[in-house]
Chains A and B, each alone.
Chain A
Amino acid sequence: MRLKPRAFEYVRARSLQDVFSVLDAHGDEAKILAGGQSLVPALNLRLAAPEIVVDVSAVEALSGITVVDDVLRIGAMSRYIEVATSDLVARHAPMIARAIPYIAHTAIRNRGTFGGSLCNADPASELPACALALKAVFNISSSAGERKIAASDFFLGTYTTALEPNEVLVSVEVPLTGPGSLFYFDEVARRQGDYAMAGLAARAEVRGGVLADARLVFFAVSDMPLAASAASALLEGKAPGSFDAEVVCEALAQTIVPLEDLTTSSATKLHLMKVLTRRALTDFAGKEA
């Protein structure tokens, strides 16, 4: 029944201005094409049927990975492969470098983009959770000007973000990882490259021998990346390895009811969140030692 997309107009933008003019003219009926790894299948399945598709792959302003003052800035059009092999990312945001190999498969990582993943806001995706855990800031532009949105305000639900129809994500800024920073990233998936049954992006800093600014962010368990704030708060001010992981796990159970998926129940997801949490805390304790 569905093999071919409904007819649509295609524009290859050369500048942000080109993008804005399409978005301003067509609003909801326009779709931005970056790496196309989600949009193109959606078009072919006629799950998306925009009037016009604006290809942003040639927009210079969206590319590049740079360090600007105390942040790492990753252009929205950066392909996964570029991010995964970037020395700057490896040095200043190692969690992201660790996370990218979990995303799908090589062919997809060659085309798919960093910004595309964030804007697609699939709740099972790795990068939204990393963005939340790392307190990333999203640089947004439109013909009306520029604005910044914190990761914690960007994701609103399944495939839903704070982006307005006339806006485009230009880049993402991640605070540089500092001395004493700890991070842990892992997920439980049935096959390599699958969407996870549950995943965890965790980070914390060790200041004066105790944990500070700890964030446990889970993905594939809710309709958006889920910051487990109650559980994270239990880590604050404690020396790594000095507390009972089961207390943290119990806080997860008290505060979170994961959404089931086709083959994984809510109870199993909660169990896997606990498994990941124990592994993360063990990892933190080991690094400190």
Chain B
Amino acid sequence: MNDRSAMSVLDKPNSYIGRSVPRPNAKRLAQGRATYVDDIVLPRMVHLAFCRSPYAHAEILSIDSTAALALPGVLRVVTMADLQDYCTPWVGVLDHLKGIKSAPQWPLANGKAFFQGEPIVAVAATSRAIAEDAVDLIEVDYKELPPVTDMETALDPDTPVIHPELGDNLCFERSIDSGDVDAAFAEAAVVVEETFHFNRHTGVTLEPRSIICDYNPADETLTLHMSVQCPHMSKNLYAKHLGLDEDKVRVICKDVGGSFGLKIHTYSDEMAAGALTVMLGRPVKFIADRLESFTTDIHARDHRVTAKMAFTQDGEITAVEMDDITGIGPYSVYPRTSGIEMNQVANLTAGPYKHLNYRVRARVVFQNKGVMCQYRGVGHPIAVAVGEALIDKGAAALGMDPAEVRRRSFIPDDAYPYTSPSGAIYERQSHRQSLDKLVAVMDYEALRREQRVLRERGIYRGIGFASLIEVTNPSPAFYGVGGARIASQDGCTIRLDPTGGITCATGVTEQGQGTETIIAQIAASAVGVAPGQVRVITGDTDVVPYGGGTWASRGAGIGGEAALQAGKELRRNILEVAGAILQSAPESLDIRDGEIVDAKSGNERMPLAELGRLVYFRGDTLPEGLQPELVATKHYVSRSYPFAFTNAAHACLLEVDVETGLVKLLKYWVVEDCGTVINPLLVAEQTRGGVVQGIGAALYEECLYSPEGQMINGSMADYLLPMAAEMPEIFVDHVTTPTETSELGAKGVGEAGTAGAPGAVMNAINDALGPLDARLSHMPFTPDKILRALGKT
């Protein structure tokens, strides 16, 4: 794959790769001219609203919809009995997650409700307001069942089994025992242990889940306008469960107001909209409201981890042992399962380090709360926080600097490719280099001096590190091998238009992260035009090549490589045509800034627009035998490694007000190694946004549930998101270790910020409070918890 000859597109003088090209779509978004699903109005469209279970666990005894149905404007009121013939159930399991089990899930509750907010009855009406009026008139008679909410007791023999047919409340279990863990702990100079709690939180997209399902009974086509990350996956799933011909299902996804992983899952209410459009033969719109988002969007984390780490006297990590339990709600979410987050925790904890002794027991249990599944960072924030907190604790016990313990324990630079004790294979990482750069850019020594001085004045500042690895550029090993029809390959079709402009259709999607910008940069560089001359089309399964969309930080690495190869192919094709027209050898020509030029002198030979004119309209003038091909398609799948692991080093500086328990974030630094940086501006934005979400996990965000399984803070007033006023300045710098698996050399960057921040913030708080003998490991670190740790309340 390595084609880094002297003049590859990466280092050509007119390459746009590595430049901070602004986003062409930013203006549209900023002016409020974007097209979100709710902006789309179709003729004869009806609106859905749902009657949802107020209980976490209940049997549905009866449903009376008479009054709702009588309301003018109400078209249909349906229960699961009405949808039986329109939709088949789904089960969130994958073949390669051995032993994972779950129960069938339906568009509406089928006799029992298993979590608060589960849809029971759907109302289709001519307006959303009328549909909501009708929901208020529906009477459902429930028999409350005992809710299982505490994950720690979910497997106890006297805890009710949520799905009796499954036998118990265990969804999935995994263990790793690598090396000789017991011996390593027995021989250790220092052993540290801690129990961590990771708060259940959720993605909170500004644009909620939104869908319009539009079935045309005449030609049996289904068009889905969705706010989604994976259009082709949705195409497959809606066809499969609605019993339609997959080739007749089209998914269109225009602008997306945030996704963060929560728009890659199958949601009952959205599937109900699919069943209803087939039933009614009319377009059906469903937009989740904020309470529905909080209670029914996937949640994430909610892990309790007890872990210990062994060190030599010299500060080298020799062993890690951990026990993880996570509660995932009543179902493993379809089709990616709710076993993946735990799997990542098991795979990645203390991943940057060279110890070979590693033992994990991890269990995923059912409970009567909202469902949990993949959200930005998937398992990484937990794995990173656990490993990095134990290192800091070990460093304190050894009387060593935490940065130095990391340096001594990193996988050595000459050990790559490297197989971790969990079985993960790393191509090449730059931990030591990244940490050294981090320590330099933050001026670590000066901060430590300042910290000491301020402590004497009663000001408690803390510095927290987090070194991490991130799974990106997934191969089929992630889902495909488990039987899910989720593409890990992606494609790009690129064409030269008669105007000389380039149109590029890609299977990766734009969620607001800048995919369209980087695809344009790559295509522009590969062909030889300015990015402004490239128009990128995403999110329409009738138009773009079959692809996986946005997940596991794959857009740049996978979609970008496909665009690069497609662009190079188009360039070859253009030069072949140009050579024939200009009677020059194609190798003697180049394309620069939209012109065919003489490669050596740079002298202009022909604008692309002229070539386009000749090819498209004056084929009669072309040399005999020439059949120009100005469209090229290329696909790319990562095969030589299951994943491209990136790495990063984070540091957080903060101050704890020991009177109020408030944490003031002062500065945050990230040195990121995502391989080739296509657009530094977008990489920095991704990193900062990710760090902010990670800070949210550490300080603010938590889905609070009552013991009865009621979410008690389902509003933006009570569920606290990180906001600009509290965020520190976040400095982003780079070490660049391109992946050798692709010519582009880009790895993903979408999740590393989220992965590192919770651990870095936790370490910084504990560093600040160290002199006061206070320590916290239960996120989020609220003032209440900090004051309790300080013994003030």
Interface residues of chain A, those whose CB is within 8 Å of chain B, are 1-7, 45-46, 188, 190-195, 197, 262-265, 267-268, 270-272, 275
Contact = CB atoms under 8 A, between A and B. Distances in A.
Nearest to B723: A191
B109 to A, nearest CB: 14
Contacts of B726: 191-192
A3 B783 contact: no
Nearest to B788: A268
A190 B289 contact: no
A4 B291 CA distance: 13
Nearest to A189: B662
Given A188-B662, A262-B713, A265-B784, 18 more contacts: A1-B51, A1-B132, A3-B128, A3-B132, A4-B129, A4-B132, A6-B132, A45-B291, A191-B720, A192-B723, A192-B726, A194-B720, A195-B717, A197-B783, A197-B784, A268-B784, A271-B787, A275-B659
Contacts of A265: 784, 793
Interface in B86-139: 127-129, 132-133, 135-136
Given A1-B289, A4-B132, A262-B712, A271 B792 contact: yes
Interface string B703-719: 01000000011000110
Contacts of B718: 262
Given A5-B129, A46-B132, A195-B717, A190 B49 contact: no
Nearest to B119: A1
Given A3-B287, A271-B787, A190 B782 contact: yes
B49 A188 contact: no
Contact of B661 (A4, A5, A46, A268): A268
Contacts of B704: 262-263
Contact of A4 (B128, B699, B712, B713): B128
A188 B660 contact: yes
Nearest to A265: B784
Contact of A275 (B291, B660, B700): B660
Interface of A is mostly: loop
A263 B723 contact: no
B700 A190 contact: yes
Interface in B773-793: 782-784, 787-788, 792-793
Interface string B278-304: 000000000101011000000000000
Contact of B133 (A6, A191, A264, A272): A6
A258 to B, nearest CB: 11
Nearest to A198: B660
Contacts of A46: 132, 136
Contacts of A195: 717
Contacts of A267: 793
B289 A2 contact: yes
A267 B723 CA distance: 27
A47 to B, nearest CB: 10
A269 B712 CA distance: 20
A195 B782 CA distance: 15
A46 B700 CA distance: 27
B76 to A, nearest CB: 17
Contacts of A264: 782-784
Given A1-B49, A1-B289, A275-B660, A191 B700 contact: yes
B783 A188 contact: yes
Contacts of B725: 191-193
B254 interface: no
B136 to A, nearest CB: 7
Contacts of A193: 723, 725
